[in-house]
Amino acid sequence: MAAHPAPAPKALRGAAISMRGDPFAQEPRHCLLHEADALVLIEGGRITRFGPFHALRDDLPVGTELVEYPDAILCPGFVDAHVHYPQLGMIGAHGAQLLQWLERYTFPTEARFADPAHCTAVAQAFLRELLRAGTTTAAVYCTVHPQSADAFFAESHRFNTRMVAGKVLMDRHAPAALLDTAQRGFDESEALIRRWHGVGRQHYGVTPRFAPTSTEAQLDAAGALLRAHSDLFLQTHLSENREEVAWVRELFPHCDGYLDVYARAGLVGPRAVFGHGIHVTEAELCTCHGAGAALAHCPTSNLFLGSGLFRLMDTLDPRRPVRVGLGTDVGAGTSLSQLRTLGEAYKVSQLLGRGLDAVQGFFLATSGGARALHLDDRIGRLAPGYDADLVVLDPGATPLLRFRTARCDSLEELLFVLMTLGDERAVRATWAGGHCVYDRDREGEPFSCPG
């Protein structure tokens, strides 16, 4: 697979925010780094300098292109910790809870991915919608078909985005056309790992859908893949719905709870991301903390399917904090916008009697999400050495936003308004690996691949 050519040095100028601490463990206002007039120097796809414009402007390399974003906010690119790209075509499907929703909508939609041309068309549409929403890294579920993963990785590689993805493993309790076997799932995953893992900015995630649709033999095979490749990711679902949790108890009566099903197969460890986790027990939270595993908070999906309220603050208890990222889920989720998703996360916290401020919200969508994926040494911050993945936010993107943000008395208030009233329209531009892959105001085609 051809590497992307190194772009010429670029410097972005504008107001900028980044995180310099964990606002769930420290005073939030001390964790927000704000430069009112910042310069971000990008060389070779990475940030090499970041700081006040007046201090850095005279040290730019010869030939550096300066891109200015007045009246905007430069922010690390958003991180989506849990999303199903094949379900884009069924987003907003009406009325069911999880297990019935899978049978009625999800499985018929995913069966269409037997067609490679369909995989390519949906992967192209999906990735563009992610970029339009300012998301530069995501943990992505494909379908059981290997070609669905090939199509997604190919499109991500074209845009040079850092993505985690994998073909779904599913050998029971689903339509025959969507089943593999423990051995076939292993072999197809192994082939995809060799084809894509570590190619450019692509990462492979071993992806059993959830415990009920995999036999113990398949879960063991997933564990074997993780043992064979030390830097793989693992993504699956955990305790999303009470009916699902009861079903897992029936299917695995010898296990000590839902998470133990995965633990016995060797699936609970660093770079493991469990979607939803609404009904997890205290013992399971302690296990995740000790293992370095993460939970993906998917508020729009959990509200849409009536699954329950994720106990964010309990999960982040400083006595045994669990890594948490923010997930859009889609199609049960109702938007690929992390701003919209943050608005719903705030409402869920309110319903639980716990606050969620803007600094905490933006942490979840950036460096917190990177930490959940164990990629926080590469993405999630504006700092030298980090990948040049940024989203440019426009506080005046709509008449209402322009009216409201003009009345904000502090940066924190402005960010809170963005996360409660903002959506993909507030994304002025998206940069991935030092290239502007999306520009809302670009004439003609707003999307651009490097090279």
Q: For each of the chain's 451 residues, which pLDDT tens digit applies?
A: 677 766 789 999 999 999 999 999 999 999 999 999 999 999 999 999 999 999 999 999 999 999 999 999 999 999 999 999 999 999 999 978 999 999 999 999 999 999 999 999 999 999 999 999 999 999 999 999 999 999 999 999 999 999 999 999 999 999 999 999 999 999 999 999 999 999 999 999 999 999 999 999 999 999 999 999 999 999 999 999 999 999 999 999 999 999 999 999 999 999 999 999 999 999 999 999 999 999 999 999 999 999 999 999 999 999 999 999 999 999 999 999 999 999 999 999 999 999 999 999 999 999 999 999 999 999 999 999 999 999 999 999 999 999 999 999 999 999 999 999 999 999 999 999 999 999 999 999 999 999 7
In this structure, the chain runs to a length of 451
pLDDT at residue 7, rounded to an integer? 72
Return the bridge partners of 206, or none.
Answer: 234
Q: Which residue in 168, 133, 131 sits closest to 148, CA to CA? A: 168
Task: Name the percent of the chain in helix, strand, coil, to the closest 5.
Answer: 40, 25, 35
Return the bridge partners of 10, or none.
Answer: 42, 65
Q: What is the domain class of 78-372 according to CATH?
A: alpha beta
Cα–Cα distance, 120 to 133 (Å, whole number): 20
List every span in the chain annotated with CATH 3.20.20.140: 78-372
CA angle 361, 294, 279 (to 5 degrees): 90
Contacts for 338 with CB less than 8 Å, ≥ 6 apart: 78, 80, 133, 134, 135, 326, 328, 365
List every span in the chain annotated with CATH 2.30.40.10: 10-76+382-439
pLDDT at residue 156, rounded to an integer? 98
pLDDT at residue 119, rounded to an integer? 98
pLDDT at residue 8, rounded to an integer? 85
Measured CA to CA in angstroms, residue 450 lies from 3, 130, 135, 285, 388 at distances of 10, 17, 17, 41, 13
Measured CA to CA in angstroms, residue 423 lies from 17, 130, 236, 349, 351 at distances of 18, 12, 27, 19, 22
Work out the burial of residue 1: count CB atoms within 10 Å of its CB; fewer than 13 is exposed, 13-18 middle, 19 or more buried. exposed
Cα–Cα distance, 174 to 141 (Å, whole number): 16
Structure tokens at 42: 């990008």
pLDDT at residue 3, rounded to an integer? 74
Question: In 10 A of CB 26, how many CB atoms?
Answer: 12
Cα–Cα distance, 450 to 201 (Å, whole number): 13
Domain 10-76+382-439, CATH: 2.30.40.10
ω into residue 331 within 30 of 0, thus cis?
yes
Give the DSSP letter string of 166-220: EPEE--SSS-GGG---HHHHHHHHHHHHHHHTTSTTEEEEEEE--GGGS-HHHHH
What single DSSP character describes residue 4? Answer: P
CA dihedral 131, 136, 137, 143 (to 10 degrees): 20
